[in-house]
Amino acid sequence: MKETEILLLSVEALKKKLSESALPTTGNKKELQNRLLSHFKTDNISVDDADEYGEAISDMGSEDRKSQFTFKDVEDSLTTFCGNSKLDIETWLLEFELNAEIVGWSDLQKFVYAKQLLRGAARLFIRSQLHLKDWVSFKST
C-alpha cells in the first residue's frame, strides 16, 4: 500500500486495514496512520512529514469547513496532467486528492481545480465528456 493511499484513508478505513493486518485499531487518526505506515514499511514518512502546508493531514476538517486556500495559493505545488507522460492518471488523482485534503477543498473545488490542471489530450477528453458535473463523475471517467 502506498503512503498517499494510507494518508487519504478515513478513520473507519484505517481501522479496517489495521484489523485485516491483525494490528491494534485504537488511537486517533494520526496514530492509526503511523501504525499502518510502519506496518507497510513506509516509515520513510510519517503523518508529521505531511505538515509542509502548515497542518498535519489528520488535523484537517471535514468538507463542511471552508478552505483557506484557493487554487492560486497552491497552483505552483500541484502537478498538471496531460495524458501522455510517465505519470499515470491514478497516481495523479491520488496526489491531487492528497493535496486537496491538506488544504481542505470541497468536492466542488476539487472538480473545478482538477479540470484547470489538465493539459493537451487530457483536457480535450474531459471537455468532450458532457455528463461530467461533479468530482465523483470526474474521477470515474
Residue 83 phi, psi (nearest 5): 90, -10
**Enclosing H/E stretch for 30:** helix 29-39
Give this prediction's pTM: 0.52
What's residue 8's pLDDT? 79
More confident residue, 100 or 4: 100
Nearest CA among 88, 81, 83 for reference residue 115: 81
Q: What is the mean pLDDT of residues 122-129?
A: 92
Residue 6: pLDDT above 70? yes
Per-residue pLDDT, averaged over 61-86, amounts to: 74
User: What would the mean pLDDT of 51-64 be, rounded to a whole number?
Assistant: 40
The predicted pLDDT at position 67 comes to: 64
Mean pLDDT (the chain, rounded) = 79
Q: Looking at per-residue confidence, does 39 or 95 come out higher? A: 95
